[in-house]
Amino acid sequence: MTPAPGPALEARGLGKRFGGVVAVDGASLSVGRGEILGLIGPNGAGKSTLFDLLSGVQRADRGQVLLFGEDVTALPAHARARRGLTRTFQLARELDRLTVIENLVLAAPDQPGEALWRALVRPAAVARAERAAIARAGELLETVGLADKRHEPARALSGGQKKLLELARCLITGAPLILLDEVGAGVAPALLDHLTDTIARIRREHDRTLMVIEHNMGLIGRLCDRVVVMAGGKPIADGDFDAVCADPRVVESYLGLAA
């Protein structure tokens, strides 16, 4: 698919209600191609629910989601993934009984061995594809700094290392747009700088667009080109880090004074 000109991702008037609770209330924003956009706000602002709506994990009650110019509002998560969007979650979702590299190879797309008839009829082609996936996985483990952990079970990784593994799994899919949900949560300070640098290098060297939910303002300030602040289920500020931090509406929301 050749992406259409324009933003990588757009939300237009998205809304989501859970019973009597309005989680997202007419949220609109866009993410430019090649941009790292930060999404911040107090707890309960609707950030993770917005990610769920953008990625297709949840269906919006109203509004539109456009992915590379295509309206994907009605598409489920797997269909959006095939169109170039992948994401992580607040809690890492590794397959803990598999090794680190097995977790990564399993995420590689379009493996011919997944179809039984191909494995039976074209075993040589399947073997070549598997070798290529293993080689690519090894390269990406080098990229994120986990090469020395490749044969260890994923359950043995620290919280920060599991976040790095999730980044590598996003990369191996080839998706040009990555949503990172609280990527710094639970990461030891000693590993946080490496994680931040790795995300910046992924954008620079792998030509990715990223959207990041994060409570660590140091990470957001270092990493993001632009920041959107949510409160009460909708964006209330949009600009560079220093500008949004100085916005009185943002100060109010973090002090718990805003509705």
Residue 206 lies in a domain: yes
Residues 89, 51 share a domain = yes
Question: What pLDDT is attached to residue 256?
Answer: 60
Question: CB atoms < 10 A from the CB of 75, how many?
Answer: 18
Band the pLDDT of 148: cuts 50, 70, 90: very high
Residues 83, 184 share a domain = yes
Residues 90, 18 share a domain = yes
**How far, in Å, CA of 102 to CA of 154, rounded?**
9
Are 180 and 212 in contact by the 8 Å Cβ rule? The answer is yes
**More reliable by pLDDT, 169 or 122:** 169
Question: What pLDDT is attached to residue 3?
Answer: 44
Residues 144, 76 share a domain = no
Residues 194, 136 share a domain = no
Question: What pLDDT is attached to residue 119?
Answer: 46
Question: What pLDDT is attached to residue 20?
Answer: 92
Residues 125, 78 share a domain = no
Residue 41 lies in a domain: yes
Are 50 and 231 in contact by the 8 Å Cβ rule? The answer is no
Residues of the chain above pLDDT 70, percent: 90
Residues 147, 112 share a domain = yes
Which structure tokens are listed for 110?
């379009």
Location of structure tokens 């997202």:
24
Torsion angle of C-alpha atoms 34, 175, 80, 127, degrees rounded to 10:
170
Residue 165 lies in a domain: no
**How far, in Å, CA of 13 to CA of 71, rounded?**
13
Residue 259 lies in a domain: no
Residue 163 lies in a domain: no
Which structure tokens are listed for 207?
């030509």
Are 77 and 61 in contact by the 8 Å Cβ rule? The answer is no
Q: At residue 219, what are phi and psi to the nearest 5 degrees?
A: -65, -45
Residues 79, 42 share a domain = yes
Residues 185, 78 share a domain = yes
Condensed to tens digits (0 to 9), the pLDDT of residues 18-67 reads 999 999 999 999 999 999 999 999 999 999 999 999 999 999 999 999 99
Question: Taking the model in full, what pTM does it have?
Answer: 0.85
Q: Which of 87, 60, 63, 66 is nearest to 173 (CA)?
A: 87
pLDDT at 258 > cutoff 70: no
Q: What domain range is 243 assigned to? A: 9-94+175-254
Of the candidate ranges 120-134, 153-167, 239-253, the one whose mean pLDDT is the lowest: 120-134
- Kindly provide the b/e burial profile for residues 10-21, where b requires at least 16 CB atoms within 10 angstroms of the residue's own CB: bbbebbbeeeee
Band the pLDDT of 121: cuts 50, 70, 90: very low
Residue 241 lies in a domain: yes
Residues 188, 79 share a domain = yes
What average pLDDT score do residues 205-221 get?
93
- What residues have CB less than 8 Å from 57, skipping those under 6 apart? 51, 77
What average pLDDT score do residues 109-122 get?
51
Are 109 and 128 in contact by the 8 Å Cβ rule? The answer is no
Domain of 19, CATH number, reads: 3.40.50.300
Residues 181, 217 share a domain = yes
In degrees, to the nearest 5, what angle opens at C-alpha 225 toward C-alphas 221 and 226? 85
- Provide the pairing of β-strand 9-18 with 21-31: antiparallel
Band the pLDDT of 111: cuts 50, 70, 90: low
Question: What pLDDT is attached to residue 117?
Answer: 42
Residue 166 lies in a domain: no
Task: Give how many domains the chain has, as a whole number.
Answer: 2
Burial of 167 (0-12, 13-18, 19+ CB in 10 A): buried
Residue 197 lies in a domain: yes
Residues 105, 90 share a domain = no
